[in-house]
Amino acid sequence: MKREAESKTTLLNDLLEEIEQSMIGDDWSVSLDAVLLCLETAPESFFRYYYRSGHSMADLPETFHAENAGILIEYLADLGYDGAVSAFRRRGWYLTDDDYLMWEEFFLSVSLSMLASHKIDEEELEIALSGCRYTSDGLQFYCETRCSIESLLSRTLSIYAREKTLSEGAIRLLRSYTRHLFHRRLFREETIYREFCERLRETAKLRGWIGADVVAAPASLREELLLFGFEDLPGEEILKERYRILLKEHHPDINRSSEAVVMTQRLIDAYAKICAHRRQASEVAS
């Protein structure tokens, strides 16, 4: 058993060395052939593992890299290389689901804390609001110029990297992962900025910079209004214009994707619900 463990350690080190020698900057890659050669394993062993794992044989990887490192790690574990995960993590080539989950929690917590402690630049807020037709656009402009998601990401990553002593490779993986979360709308800017925008709005109201084109929105419409980028209920024409813009942007005839079809239906449903609320409120008032 001891001899077998020592043999596996040697073979794993050979693989790690092979990857290190082929790196370009922080980017790493290694061919399947090189992996099998370093591990002194027949190709059939990988094919059997890949098939058992339920992967599509049509997507059989010829090369491993950061994006599909999980497959290589799983294969190594299947062969009994217990130290593979820690070896790849130390070098910043791979992160576990727990690593990503811990980072998600840290990013959200620290980002919200940074926004809560942000000292509002009232001069810039006034300029942002006066330069935009809609209040929500002005607030968004201030957020993007003073506390952009990218700046929050860089600042939180810097703190996290120091606390966890992360390698540059691991930092790059976390940055790419977070951008992916925002791109897929699993993280949403409007959610992160929600309380911050309320603070900006209260400041603007106090200074008299917000026009009369908005009224407080009921909680039942919050999700629908956020879909259009509003915190409060805008005027009828303002809402209609934003609806037309977004509908055109996501229309399946223009944006040919399954996401566009879903978004178009969400926009239609949200607009109908807001209009129904407006009609009901008007009837009650009359």
Domains and CATH numbers, the chain: 2-90 (no CATH), 95-211 (no CATH), 213-286 (1.10.287)
Pick out the chain residues at pLDDT < 50: 212
Phi-psi region of 255 (alpha: psi -120 to 50; beta: other; left: phi over 0): beta
Integer-rounded Cα Rg, in Å, for the chain is 26
The encoded tokens of residue 114 equal 């940074």
The encoded tokens of residue 67 equal 């994006």
Nearby residues of 145 by Cβ (< 8 Å), 6 or more positions away? 124, 128
Q: What is the pLDDT of residue 170?
A: 93
Quick one: which H or E segment has residue 31? strand 29-31
> Token match 């402009």: residue?
141
Q: What is the pLDDT of residue 214?
A: 52
Helix/strand/coil for 215: strand
Q: What is the pLDDT of residue 102?
A: 96
End-to-end CA distance of the chain: 86
Phi, psi of 270 (to 5 degrees): -65, -45
Q: What is the pLDDT of residue 163?
A: 96
Q: What is the pLDDT of residue 211?
A: 58
Q: What is the pLDDT of residue 86?
A: 93
Q: What is the pLDDT of residue 2?
A: 57
Q: What is the pLDDT of residue 9?
A: 87
Buried/exposed code over 178-192 (b: 16+ C-beta within 10 A; e: otherwise): beeeeeeeebeebeb
The encoded tokens of residue 123 equal 């001069």
